[in-house]
Structure 1
Amino acid sequence: MAASLWRSFPCSRRQLRLDAVLLCGQSFRWREAGAGEWLGVLADRVWRLKQDETHLYYQVYESSNKDVNSCRIKTEVKSAFKAEETDASYHTSRKQHRATAKTTSNHKITFDSVDQKVLLETKYACSANLALAKQCKNDAAGIDYFDIKVEKKEDDMVLVSILEDYFQLGVDIENLYDQWSQADPYFSKTARDFWGIRILRQDPVENLFSFICSSNNNIARITSMVDKLCAHYGQPVAEVEGKMYHTFPSVSSLAQEGMEEKLRELGFGYRAKFISKSARHIIDNHGQDWVSSLRHQSYEEAKAELMTLCGVGAKVADCVCLMSLDKTGAIPVDTHVWQFAARHYLPKLQAAKSVTGKLYQEIGDHFRDLWGPYAGWAHSVLFTSELRHMQSKKSSPDQVEKPPAMVKQKRQSNSTEDGKGKAKYSKPSSSSKKTGRTA
């Protein structure tokens, strides 16, 4: 499929290193496609990403298959409107909306059966950012949704906002690295080789079921399982270089009858039961949008809710809290975290035979006290440094020259010590509109 031209926006490699962030086990939807380029699915689009020292570059692949596009748009309309149908902004006058309307991104919306179809509202959905609309119910017609024709490609602002949200670029990672380094000598030493690592803000459903697949598994096998879920139960997006890319399945599609047996045939083993039962539990007890709603709960509440699902223990729950639910203080404790905690922070762990619930909590609390509100982000840097396949990614941030003005400004504005010489934390700057951060 044809891709858009390369577009870019400012993003320093000190703030984001694609080669580390996309391979460190947070997401399993990206693959290296040539030197320094990455292909993956995000927000129901296929993206190709690359970067230089000062900019992030992106291409978006458009599908030429009308059936694929129609399926994608109708799915987005249905799911997004259901989640927003109680929003006051949708209760607008019919007189204000006629057969043709333009969204804030200048998409032109056309309707068939103009007299029966009225645009209530158009709005960007975080998962898709396409024009969304739903007809007023017409009992006589019995039609639920109308076709949408996008006559203009999405503008750059929409696409950049998707990437900024996904990589959480509103969070100043350099400022956080400075704070963590002053509080923790071991972090300071490690960060010299593993800089520019930040937490992705993923789709909660994709993040949850991907990490349910992670039980006693490695990154390569998890990636294979996620690919199978998408290929068999997701919607097609676009074909790129001979490979068809798909959306991640909805919860309802994973809750179908006979899902456990089908997944076992695909090689998921005992994880098939976890996926099937968790999806069924969510649909039966909460509804399609429940996982995303946990962003508005406290860290403790969200983690407890996730742990009611089959196959979701403390570690998987913390991964989801950290990587998609905005709980920046969540600390997933696995073998790697246990090992560096025992070597460098809590020597008594070396005598422990297993990670009990009490020790798990103690490790998390220790790092939260040491690193502050964004402890989960700091943990990810050290976790990445423990991965064998990441050792080839070691490099010095000194290779990226920092403008003298920035150095001077940081010296003047960053106060990271109190009067007693003890590290203190300041809130990292953020230009993005983030809500629901409760950890």
Structure 2
Amino acid sequence: MSRITEWRKLPVSLNELCIATTLCCGQSFRWRQSDDQTWTCTLRGRIVQLTQDKSHLRYRSIWPSACEAPPTPPSSIPPTVDEDSETDDTKSLIMHYLNLEPDLETLYAQWSASDPNFKKKAPKFTGVRILRQDAWEALIGFICSSNNNIVRISQMVDKLCTHYGRYIATLDGRPYHDFPEPDALTGKDVEAHLRELGFGYRAKYISRTAKMVAEEREHGWLDGLRNPESPAYGRTVSPGGQMKPEGRDGYREAHEKLLDLQGVGPKVADCVCLMGLGWGEAVPVDTHVWQIAQRDYKFGRGKHSSLTKATYDAVANHFRKLWGKEAGWAHSVLFTADLRAFAERLTTKAEVSIKGDTRPSAEPEVRQQQTVRRVAVKRELEQDERNVVVKVEELVMNSSERVKRQRRK
């Protein structure tokens, strides 16, 4: 029977962390949101659940029982476990995973001081944090992202966990599995099986990369590429996989070594460096980021008229010079802001009346009242092309549209 902790809370403001944005902006592909706004994922051998209000982050963990098979039927009232015991490190895990140590308001202020465009757009998108994910999970997740959309990426990652990950527990009738270790994906039939599951050409990349990490590199090699200022949670690095010196050379070395793996190009390597290895200066440049660079930072002319390897480096270097050590973090905030799907729309509710003369030439008197209303949206985010399709379920007519209709009448 699974063990479950009581709900506990951490004092975290929405300016410092917004899980509704951070967990679904294309960093991780395993978090599931319930109707009650609870977010659920397996991390480090347990199920973690998160929910948030304006001043606190609430969390609890569900631990596996001794039995590896899902209970039948699943218990709805598992016993509790005291988090203060030595067996539950969920608090420190959450603080590490959500990267809660840096003062985010201070970082936003620094980026705003150096970049008017960031200063203009970022205030509506506070609380975006870069996750400290497991490097192996980030690597496989972003290999799956190639020419793919976020829904299918999440489905692929879920299939990997279900078929190759260790069973943890069943919650609300749904079994949860951890992310599979590299050696779980090295079998001779893995590639064929993944193709049957719909992975396409990515099946070969995943199988081959798993073999390279598990069998052809020394133990701890991948975590050895980590920024020493951002250590992996609960991991040790073997003597053959020592942490590299900090600084730009360490990031460059990590980036270049990742390119040796199957299915890893510059963008995937930078995603892994940023979100799995802790290199804050890594700036993934895809088509969407390229569009931001063209629109807001005057790229797209002369030798930088298209997204080539040279342009990729030029854009990333420009952002590193502009934002500094955590340029990848700042870039992710702007990317999220550009989606607009997370925004609260400022709409104008117009009351139109015609005073006196009711002829068509009479000018209407418009009284405007500004209201903030959350617009329900349906978003399809293309992880590679970063295209966003937004369906607005509620339309609030602005004053000019209302006036035009009044005139036509």
| Superposition TM-score tier, normalisation by shorter sequence | 0.7 to 0.9
Query: Aligned AA for 1:331?
Result: V
Correspondent of 2:328 among 376, 381, 393? 376
1:67 shift after superposition: 3.5
Correspondent of 2:109 among 178, 192, 195? 178
Distance in 1, Cα, partners of 2:165 & 2:279? 27
Distance in 2, Cα, partners of 1:371 & 1:41? 33
Q: Does 2:162 match 1:161?
A: no
Distance in 2, Cα, partners of 1:204 & 1:393? 36
Match of 1:6 in 2: 7
Structure 2 spans left out of the alignment, 5+ residues:
71-79, 227-242, 245-249, 348-371, 373-409
Query: What's the RMSD between the two structures over aligned residues?
Result: 2.4
SS of 1:41's equivalent? strand
Match of 2:315 in 1: 363
Closer/same/farther in 2, CA of residues 218 and 372 from structure 1, 3 Å limit: same
Name the structure where strand makes up a greater proportion of residues.
Answer: 2
1:243 shift after superposition: 1.0
1:43 shift after superposition: 1.8
1:305 shift after superposition: 0.5
Aligned positions of 1:298-377 closer than 5 A = 298-349=250-301, 354-377=306-329
Query: Aligned AA for 1:208?
Result: L
Distance in 1, Cα, partners of 2:324 & 2:5? 41
Distance in 2, Cα, partners of 1:4 & 1:204? 27
Distance in 2, Cα, partners of 1:391 & 1:349? 31
Match of 1:72 in 2: none
SS of 2:184's equivalent? helix
Q: Does 2:162 match 1:243?
A: no
1:264 shift after superposition: 0.3
Query: Aligned AA for 1:219?
Result: I
User: 1:79-106: CA deviations, max 9, x gaps?
Assistant: xxxxxxxxxxxxxxxxxxxxxxxxxxxx
Match of 2:204 in 1: 273
Query: Aligned AA for 1:4?
Result: T
User: 1:174-220: CA deviations, max 9, x gaps?
Assistant: 10000111111111111121111010000111110011000001111
The two structures have a TM-score, normalised by structure 2, of: 0.73
Mark the structure with the bigger radius of gyration: 2
Q: Does 2:25 match 1:24?
A: yes
Distance in 1, Cα, partners of 2:209 & 2:128? 31
Match of 1:63 in 2: 64
SS of 2:139's equivalent? helix
Query: Aligned AA for 2:198?
Result: G
Query: Aligned AA for 1:155?
Result: D
Correspondent of 1:212 among 117, 122, 143? 143
Distance in 1, Cα, partners of 2:291 & 2:122? 18
Query: Aligned AA for 1:53?
Result: K
The two structures have a TM-score, normalised by structure 1, of: 0.68
Closer/same/farther in 2, CA of residues 237 and 288 from structure 1, 3 Å limit: farther
User: 1:226-281: CA deviations, max 9, x gaps?
Assistant: 00000000000111111111011111111211211111000000101111111112
Match of 2:38 in 1: 37
Closer/same/farther in 2, CA of residues 279 and 337 from structure 1, 3 Å limit: same
SS of 2:284's equivalent? coil
Does the Cα contact within 8 Å between 1:252 and 1:288 map onto a contact in 2?
no
1:36 shift after superposition: 2.6
Structure 1 spans left out of the alignment, 5+ residues:
70-150, 400-439
User: 1:324-363: CA deviations, max 9, x gaps?
Assistant: 1110010000111101011011333598564211111100
Query: Aligned AA for 2:180?
Result: P
Distance in 1, Cα, partners of 2:133 & 2:69? 23
Distance in 2, Cα, partners of 1:393 & 1:16? 20
Distance in 1, Cα, partners of 2:345 & 2:35? 16
Does the Cα contact within 8 Å between 1:251 and 1:288 map onto a contact in 2?
no
Match of 2:225 in 1: 294
Correspondent of 2:156 among 221, 225, 233? 225
Distance in 1, Cα, partners of 2:323 & 2:345? 24
Does the Cα contact within 8 Å between 2:5 and 2:83 map onto a contact in 1?
no
Does the Cα contact within 8 Å between 1:184 and 1:370 map onto a contact in 2?
yes
1:311 shift after superposition: 0.6
Closer/same/farther in 2, CA of residues 349 and 215 from structure 1, 3 Å limit: farther
Moved more, 344-353 or 326-335: 344-353
Distance in 2, Cα, partners of 1:394 & 1:40? 33
Match of 2:52 in 1: 51
Name the structure where helix makes up a greater proportion of residues.
Answer: 1
Q: Which gives a bigger RCO, structure 1 or 2 (Cα 8 Å, sep 6+)?
A: 1
Aligned positions of 1:65-144 closer than 5 A = 65-67=66-68
Distance in 2, Cα, partners of 1:254 & 1:387? 34
Distance in 2, Cα, partners of 1:66 & 1:284? 30
Q: Does 2:16 match 1:15?
A: yes
SS of 2:278's equivalent? coil
Match of 1:105 in 2: none
1:393 shift after superposition: 8.8
1:374 shift after superposition: 0.7
1:387 shift after superposition: 2.8
Distance in 2, Cα, partners of 1:287 & 1:255? 16
Distance in 2, Cα, partners of 1:171 & 1:190? 21
Does the Cα contact within 8 Å between 1:278 and 1:309 map onto a contact in 2?
yes
Distance in 2, Cα, partners of 1:341 & 1:192? 19
